[in-house]
Structure 1
């Protein structure tokens, strides 16, 4: 690896992030790259509010791609394709020193393939790996044709890319590891976590379709749990744009939750929680890092469920299980997502059972499993971006 880039030579970096989570990753990367390059850098591309605060003028509002549902995607397909073609053309025309695509593979990888075909000398970094380890594993090998390096959020992903003969992949760290201090209880919060009645979190999802599929079965489950003489304090964290939908659907629940809105309120709830009933997804890793035992569930529409069953190739869809490497968190998917099965599992994790103890022991290993040493994820990502940039310049 060569020395630091000359701060007197301005670098042009093109970034593409079309979702809020990717926008946050992009903004953090931009901040570190500016520090590394002494300010001698110019950013172009696509991003949201966080990247705008770091100086990016997005080609178009990323909200235009916030499309949910197959019918809506089909209806908006011409607009989506226009954005893909225009973004790829902008990259080749501006000829940046490097292109960084961030998550959203259905959009960003289509752009990357066009850029590689039209301007093969531009190095391409993929920040956030597609789930090649879970489904469509052939994507990993195909990515070798248009991605020079993958920046992974999960520690097991580099080995999966080696096994699947994909492009070079490095673990840079998940953004959640920088939030551990906000997720874990202080002394007083730990007292509340251990007191009766236990605080039970219910997390039905962050999309309207998830709210629609989960709220009825979750509500019935919690009513039955209370009828089994299991007292608990119920808290439901959600986001502002879902508050009305959630409030409407909990109005007929037999147990009324305290609804809290926003990231800070959610983290405060995590710090006092004794257990959780959660929709499978990233939140399972967040709960595990917080030390909150959980039961997970997932229901989807018939078409989506059929697709998932046809393509999935892992023995768990729970992110916490995948990172830990063992199935310590029970999961109740589709036809198994019923009160008859959820209630007994929740009774176990609310009491000092072997299942609860096993989860807590496994969660305690996460700090070591997900460690990035003393270097935060954004810094590790920036170092690889700059190393790839220097290598490409040296080859030209």
Structure 2
């Protein structure tokens, strides 16, 4: 019977997520579920909609969704039909072998559809929402929140305010803390990262993180690289004659690829803007850990940088039409965009959104963060306070334990708000 695991057979888990960040969080959870299976002395079979990281962690992919996703109204349209086709194929596969538990990770639009469909087709299978959509930040109404609460048996929250919001709305909530706390242990030290990259300890390094979604290549990459061009020129002028503290090739820009498909556009932009930049695939952790400053898109990487103590400037842009509709028709308004600011609902890192994200503004804020010791120290102090509000290490294992308990005991669990 689905939703009631048999100890004599593998526990069957299905995980649904998408985009690069969801694939990362899913991979961390897959590893934790496997540890839980070992502790319980039971086999586990994990199927997923995800990406390469989840597959490497041990999940069997029913669909690769790491490149299917967007933010924005117009931006999402090309992905609607492909997403529907993928979901139909996955639901058909699940019908052949129903899971004992379903885990949804972020991915608002597609996972709303998956959650409703799974609840209808597999009414006895418990559903866990892990890292819920940020309706608590930008909810434009109650419909999405109500849907999540209705089909979800347990919501595992990663932000304190997320937990409070969904608990008020009637969800069965447990706050587990943020999984990036666990991931931090896999990052190299600054010294080890620079040794891996071949960058001297006194060589300033600026990380550029332009894109994990296709529309970010179009709307964010040009202004980011134009700003980097200004930063490069300003620092070269400031440098003057070469000295031991200011090497001749200062500054160095490093760009970690989120997906290999973005390499041609990024390399073309490097040439166009005349940047002294290096593009690397598979060395994201080293580049982040080695950086003195990051100019970055909004997303999970902001929290990684904050936990590493790297000063950052956060950018967000969508198409002008989407921005106009959101502002004037939907009355869209949010307190903050980036995860570090959302943890404590205060401006820990500078955010330049839409029309504010101009090359001049980005360059000015970047130079201030790079050259102003007091500004850097204030951000570091804010980072430390933010870190203390994220919970304790062991997040993924706590999530895996909650998922395992629900899979083996069924859907009738008390509603709690844990801390």
User: How would you bin the TM-score normalised by the shorter chain?
Assistant: 0.7 to 0.9
- Given the alignment of the two structures, is residue 205 of structure 1 paired with residue 173 of structure 2, yes or no? no
Contact 1:99–1:123, Cα closer than 8 Å, also in 2:
yes
Q: Is the 8 A contact 1:141 1:166 kept in 2?
A: no
Supply the distance in 2 between the matched residues of 1:92 and 1:293 (Cα, whole angstroms).
48
Matches within 5 A, 1:272-351: 272-309=290-327, 310=330, 312-351=332-371
Corresponding residue number in structure 2 for 1:62: 64
For residue 142 of structure 1, report the CA deviation from its aligned partner. Answer: 2.8
Using the TM superposition, give the Cα deviation of residue 246 of structure 1 relative to its aligned residue in structure 2, in angstroms. 0.6
Aligned partners of 2:65 and 2:183: how far apart in 1? 27
Compute the displacement of 1:383 (Å).
0.7
Equivalent in 288, 309, 324 of residue 270 of structure 1: 288
Match of residue 388 from structure 2: 368
Corresponding residue of 1:384: 402
The residue aligned with 2:247 is none
SS at match of 1:314: coil
* Shift in alpha-carbon separation, 1:89–1:147, aligned structure 2, 3 A: farther
The farther-off stretch of 61-70 and 287-296 is 61-70
Deviations 1:183-241 (A, max 9, x none): 54248959x8973x632222222233212223332333233334443444132313133
CA distance in 2, matches of 1:36, 1:393: 22
Which residue is 2:34 aligned to? 31
Change (3 A) 1:183 1:307: farther
Shift of 1:81: 2.9
Q: CA RMSD in A?
A: 3.4
Contact persistence 1:230–1:347 (CA under 8 A): no
Matching residue within 159, 172, 178 for 1:173: 178
Q: 1:385 to 1:185 in 2, by over 3 A?
A: same
Name the counterpart of 2:190.
Answer: 185
Distance 2:372 2:112 in 1: 47
Superposition map of 1:105-116 within 5 A: 105-116=108-119
The aligned residue for residue 84 of structure 1 is: 87
Change (3 A) 1:64 1:339: closer
In the alignment, the residues of structure 2 paired with residue 187 and residue 58 of structure 1 have an alpha-carbon distance, to the nearest angstrom, of: 33
TM-score w.r.t. length of structure 1: 0.82
By how many angstroms is 1:169 displaced? 3.8
Q: Distance in 1 between matches of 2:266 and 2:300?
A: 20
Corresponding pairs, count: 384
Query: How far off is 1:42 after superposition?
Result: 3.8
Query: Secondary structure of 2:138's match?
Result: coil
2:226 to 201, 220, 223: 220
Q: 2:136 aligned with 1:133, yes or no?
A: yes
Distance 1:348 1:51, change over 3 A: closer
d(CA) in 1 for partners of 2:193 and 2:67?
43
Look up the match of 1:259.
Answer: 278
Distance 2:86 2:192 in 1: 50
* Unmatched 5+ stretches in structure 1: none
**Alpha-carbon deviation of 1:359?**
0.5
| Partner deviation per Cα, 1:297-323 (whole Å, 9 max, x = no partner) | 222211332355446443111211112
SS at match of 2:266: helix
Q: CA deviation at 1:146?
A: 0.5
Higher RCO (Cα < 8 Å, 6 or more apart): 2
Of 206-215 and 237-246, more deviation after overlay is shown by 206-215
Q: Deviations over 1:10-69 (max 9, x none)?
A: 53333334445334245324423422432333444545445445665444x325972669
Query: How far did 1:247 drift?
Result: 0.8
